[in-house]
Amino acid sequence: MIFVKGKKNMGIMLIILLGVFTIVLCMVEVPKMLSAKEYKEMIVFFIILSFGVITAVLKILGVQLPNPQGVVIFVNQPIVDIIKGVLEK
Amino acid sequence: MNTIKLSDHQVFALAGNFTMGTAIIAVTATVADYAKQDAWIVALLAPVVGLPLIWVYHYLMKLHPGKTLIEVYYAVFGKVIGWILAAYFVIFVCLLSAPNIIFYIGNFVQTQYMTETPLYALHFVFVICLMVGLLYGLEAIARSSEISIFIVSGLIIFAMLMNLPNINPKNLLPVLEEGFTPIIKASIQLASNITWPCIIFTMFYPLNTVNTNKTRNSLFIGYTWGTIINFICIIMSVLVLGSTITARSQYPTYLMAKEISIGIISRVEAIISFSWIVTETVRVTFYFYAAVIGITRLLGLSDYKKIVLPLGLVSLVFSGVTYPDTIYPGIYDTTMWVAMIGVYGVVLPILMLIITKIKIRIGKL
């Protein structure tokens, strides 16, 4: 548990809070989108929300998540190598 | 969706707050690290060199009326390459900046004020604030920054005036000790934080304003306003603390405000941290707004407010992941961020301007 060390119930509390947040958000947003027939919005909404919930649960359980900046480093490493002389002190 | 129209003064306030953003506390140390006692020359040089670039952004968007940057990518590079470039811009420049800046704020509050509080508890408060701002919409953000810009600038100038008895002019000597090379290197670092990110403005700037030609002036004035405040902060840091301490400390402007002691007025550093957090919140709101609008445009959705809360959850989780410790941001921001924003803020806009001009000349646009 990353939030408070030594208090194991904290993680369970956070997962419950996360569940409440997710359910309330779905209850508010989904009927609106269904009545407006915005199915594309609904798919994007659920993809992002499930991604957020999964990463949040993993983080609460103390799993080391991969850093998204790895992609940036992979793409920009050649540029940084070329202009290294300018960037260094 | 595009019925929001910003007034000239709102654009000025947004540009000013955005430019002040990170620069007044966090970048001062980097600049002093590169340029030593000549940091004030950098703070004059970098914004002036950056002014034509702001004009490039303005002119590019003027040639594509009624479009955001995403559609300009489509129009210039075609559907496929344009989509890839735009997606990379939206996810890694705009969206990834939100957790990074939240980490900056949380780390500052944790190290200076609440040392026992976990980082996520602080991030949580800022993310809630960010979400409320975005759900109210762009106009609410613009109005709040309209109120805050003069308060923030006034407080910073007040703190700097209070610091006048502490200055030591010898700290600026010798001028140009190692020639112009360190100044150019430091200018690149400063510009990557204050000038080049202004490309974010193109996500709403000509689209949500009434008169593009008139608003251009307020954009320039806002940018100049922010750089002047930034210049005052940098020169006072070097004058009061000296270049060595400025370069070594993490938050020099904040440290300098602790030196104030005139009569009963002392320990007023909280006003500096207040101003910084306010401007930084405007900045993070901007990056997030650009990301949300960008995703909406990329996937062809109708309303951005639906995906704000799920994305907020994602940024809250990743605010503790993207920067694992306090050493990492220093290395990342001086290398990878400069390269990435350099491509998206300097190379691509100029390239797109040239291609647009050619396309207009041969009548394809």
Structural domain count, chain B: 1
Question: Closest Cα of chain A to B301: distance in Å?
Answer: 6
Establish if B167 belongs to a structural domain.
yes
> Could you give the CA distance from residue B13 to residue B223 in angstroms, rounded to a whole number?
9
Q: What's at B345, amino acid-wise?
A: G
Residue B112 sits in a domain whose CATH number is: 1.20.1740.10
| CA distance from start to end of chain B | 25
pLDDT at A24 over 90: yes
A6 lies within 8 A of chain B by CB: no
> Could you give the CA distance from residue B258 to residue B255 in angstroms, rounded to a whole number?
5
Q: What's at B289, amino acid-wise?
A: Y
Quick: pLDDT tens for B269-323.
888 888 889 989 988 998 999 999 899 989 988 888 888 999 999 999 999 888 8
B2 neighbors B208 (Cβ within 8 angstroms): yes
3-state secondary structure of B340: helix
Residue B25 structural domain = 8-361
CB contact under 8 Å between A72 and B324, yes or no, is: no
pLDDT of residue A48: 92
CB contact under 8 Å between A89 and B300, yes or no, is: no
Element (H, E) at B318: helix B308-318
The tokens describing B355, both together, are 């291609």
Establish if B3 belongs to a structural domain.
no
CB contact under 8 Å between A69 and B314, yes or no, is: no
Q: What angle do CA B143, B147, B151 make, to 5 degrees?
A: 155
Establish if B152 belongs to a structural domain.
yes
Element (H, E) at B20: helix B8-20
CB contact under 8 Å between B92 and A68, yes or no, is: yes
Quick: pLDDT tens for B10-24.
889 988 998 888 778
User: What is the pTM (predicted TM-score) of this model?
Assistant: 0.91
CA-based nearest residue in chain A for residue B95: A68
Q: Choose among A48, A55, A80: nearest Cβ to B307.
A: A48
Quick: pLDDT tens for B75-94.
889 889 999 999 999 999 99
Preferred mutation among A27, A38, A41, A49 to probe B, highest tally of B CBs within 10 A: A41
The tokens describing B166, both together, are 């502490």
B298 lies within 8 A of chain A by CB: no
Establish if B241 belongs to a structural domain.
yes
